Copies of this chain bind each other. A is one copy, B any other.
Amino acid sequence: MTGKRNHEKLRAEAGIAAGEVRTLADIARLAGVSAGTVSRALAGKSLVNAETRERIRAIARQHGFRPNQMASRLRSRRTGVIGVVIPLGHEKRQHVSDPFFLTLLGYLADELTEGGYDLMLSRAIPDGTSDWLERMTSSGMVDGVIVIGQSDQFAVIEQVAANYRPLVVWGHQRPGQTHCVVGTDNEAGGRMAARHLIDAGARRLVFLGDTSGMEIAMRFRGAAAEAEAAGIPLSHLSAGLAGEDMGSQIRSVLAEMDMAVDGIVAATDLVAMSALRALHEIGRAVPGDMQVIGYDNLPLAAQTMPPLTTIRQEIAAGARAMVERLKARIEGENAPGLVMAPALVRRASTLTSTLD
């Protein structure tokens, strides 16, 4: 009886009193049935006598018993967990702080909970290999993985997606890419932003934002294309726009900048908000002296002064689309990505377009 002795030793080590019920077998003994029956009863399977089932359930409830999910999931080879990874590649300070990502995470939590999945969150700091992603995909702990933001890891994600199907990414859709992406058309959004400013009378633009991430790079590209087509100069400013005191950076730069600039395309609402403050402090009126347009349409964009004109990304719809596609992929289907159209949200930080 080495086995039994060993078992009791383990239990003693774990500080578990004899007689405490922690396994199906314990419940089975109490109910006078087999472990298999308890398993079926607790899982609500139909092939168990209704009366027996209720008796077993009562006993389980009485003891506050719940089946060990680790064991259950190992055996049934279905974890019921989705991994959510936020790569912090090009971020200056390596911590999860982006309010857009955090908000998306909130909605993902809602959608996944609704769908009966648990959410395993992982902050990843890429190190040049694909390890940050693969430790999640091949851990055996998750049925699928969602990546929030491509950061500067596009190639890594492509490579992993080649052999791991249940993977959905928030970010930029590049033509012909392998991995399933949900996101908005950032280039179109960038064009839309510049176009709105130009229509509203701006004649010299500046784009504010760090373009090392792919999405923002595309926003810049779109804005640049639109400006060029309209024969309007657009400069780009990215230094110090990721740090804590973005405000002071923007302030000094705007103060020194050619006064002819009359329109700011901000890469995100947060950047726009800092710009609003900086402009206020150096005494330039918005939208009179300078028009400002943001990106994301976070709730706080409506709260700034003046309220921020911005490009909307549908965060809730995006989360829903991601979860839906991931579920399909877990079922083996080959769900395609989704590029949502951005939309202009007019508020008071820009002038009314002369074309309206």
Contacts and interface: CB of A to CB of B under 8 A. Distances in A.
Contacts of A118: 120-122, 141
A174 interface: no
7 contacts: A14-B77, A64-B138, A66-B134, A70-B74, A74-B74, A113-B123, A277-B303
A242 interface: no
A81 interface: yes
Contacts of A70: 70, 73-74, 79, 140-141
A269 to B, nearest CB: 10
B119 A120 contact: yes
A233 interface: no
Copies in the complex: 2
A157 interface: no
Interface stretch (A1-9, A98-106, A185-193): A98-106
A40 interface: no
B247 A274 contact: no
Interface in A61-120: 64-71, 73-74, 77, 79, 81, 84, 86, 94-97, 99, 102-103, 105-107, 109-110, 113, 118-120
Contacts of A79: 70
A66 B299 CA distance: 42
Given A14-B77, A70-B74, A119-B120, 11 more contacts: A66-B135, A66-B138, A66-B140, A74-B74, A95-B110, A99-B99, A102-B102, A105-B105, A118-B120, A118-B141, A304-B305
Interface residues of A, number: 59
Contact of A273 (B68, B74, B105, B300): B300
Interface of A: 10, 14-15, 64-71, 73-74, 77, 79, 81, 84, 86, 94-97, 99, 102-103, 105-107, 109-110, 113, 118-123, 134-135, 138-141, 163, 244, 247, 273-274, 276-277, 280, 299-300, 302-305, 307, 332
Contacts of A304: 303, 305
A139 B277 CA distance: 48
B247 A303 contact: yes
Contacts of A107: 95-96
A305 B283 CA distance: 13
Contacts of A95: 106-107, 110
A157 to B, nearest CB: 16
A69 B135 CA distance: 10
A106 B113 contact: no
Contacts of A66: 134-135, 138-140
A121 B121 contact: yes
Nearest to A67: B140
B119 A122 contact: yes
Nearest to A140: B68
A212 to B, nearest CB: 21
Nearest to A302: B247
